[in-house]
Structure 1
Amino acid sequence: MRKNLKIYQRLSRFPFGRQLFSWVVCRIAPYFGSISPKVTELKPGYAKVEISKRRRVTNHINTVHAIAMCNMAELAGGLMTDVSIAKDSRWIPTGMTVKYVKKAKTNLTAVANGENIDWQTEGDKLVPVEVTDTEGNLVFTAEITMNVRTA
């Protein structure tokens, strides 16, 4: 089992454990701190990340900025990849294609679902991420290319 998954599972049993895990992730990869994410689910093949709509992540028309959604998609996709690949493998994102479907006017949830991806082989993996608003409307999609190699 990957180290990040063990840490998440241990911390999520405690009050505020998921917030603490999210904070630790942002300490390791500081740029993600700009969106103040909360990792709410993490398991092999699946990750869910939430952000609150607040001034810091909005644009000139008071919707969640496109790059904030890119950040949360990369965080969800990266964490999901990290806990899904073999213990002796490494990964790095090499590309991302995004679509802005609808204005993001509320808090957001990003879900990376890699349950149908073959994580046991090396090579490029296309990781789908969907971002929805509080009403469940799809506002953003991403397909992140993750290059997986044996360490």
Structure 2
Amino acid sequence: MGHWLFSRAVCFRAPYFGTIAPRFTLLEARRCEAVIRDRRGVHNHIGTVHAIALCNLAELVAGVMTEASLPKGMRWIPKGMTVQYLKKAVGSQRGVATPAAEIVAADAGYELPVNVDVFDAGGERVFNAVVAMWLSPKRS
């Protein structure tokens, strides 16, 4: 129940992510992966996975990866996101987040780009996002 329980705990902390019912499959420093199942709740009017469901998946894995990789004394918040829809997203989708730069402790805030690729069940990349994370020292 580890993956399921961790996924539920994350969605309890940030309830909106529960709308895509994610299941985390991998979490380590500098990498996070989660899957959303093919279900009606994530579909658009043409039966494919909705663009915003893919954006939610991207922000989720980027945020959890950043949290797991942060040096002590740092905090983060998403600042922006650019996305590319590469092909129709059909079926279950797997989001993979990796940082585009080193994550370091700093005395001042800085922007960290996090790359997120989303793959369909056949392993084809259907979506890409770069989530701009703002990292800064925690307040004393």
TM-score range, shorter chain: over 0.9
State whether structure 2 residue 74 is matched by structure 1 residue 95: no
> Percent same amino acid at aligned positions?
45
Task: Output the CA distance in 1 between the equivalents of 2:98 and 2:113.
Answer: 10
User: Quick one: which amino acid aligns to residue 146 of structure 1?
Assistant: M
More strand by share: 2
**Residue 27 of structure 1 aligns with which residue?**
12
User: Which residue of structure 1 lines up, in the alignment, with residue 102 of structure 2?
Assistant: 118
User: Which one of the candidate residues 61, 70, 75 is aligned to 1:85?
Assistant: 70
Q: Which residue of 1 aligns with 2:124?
A: 137
Provide structure 1 residue ranges, at least 5 long, that are not aligned to the other structure: 1-15
**Alpha-carbon RMSD:** 0.8
Letter in 1 for 2:59: E
1:25-53 CA-partner distances (Å, limit 9, x unpaired): 00000000000000110011000010001
Alpha-carbon distance in structure 2 between the residues aligned to 1:140 and 1:118: 23
Q: Distance in 2 between matches of 1:88 and 1:43?
A: 19
Aligned residue for 1:128? 115
When normalised by structure 2's length, the TM-score is 0.94
Offset at residue 106 of structure 1 (A): 1.0
How high is the TM-score relative to the length of structure 1? 0.87
Q: Give 1:49's aligned residue.
A: 34
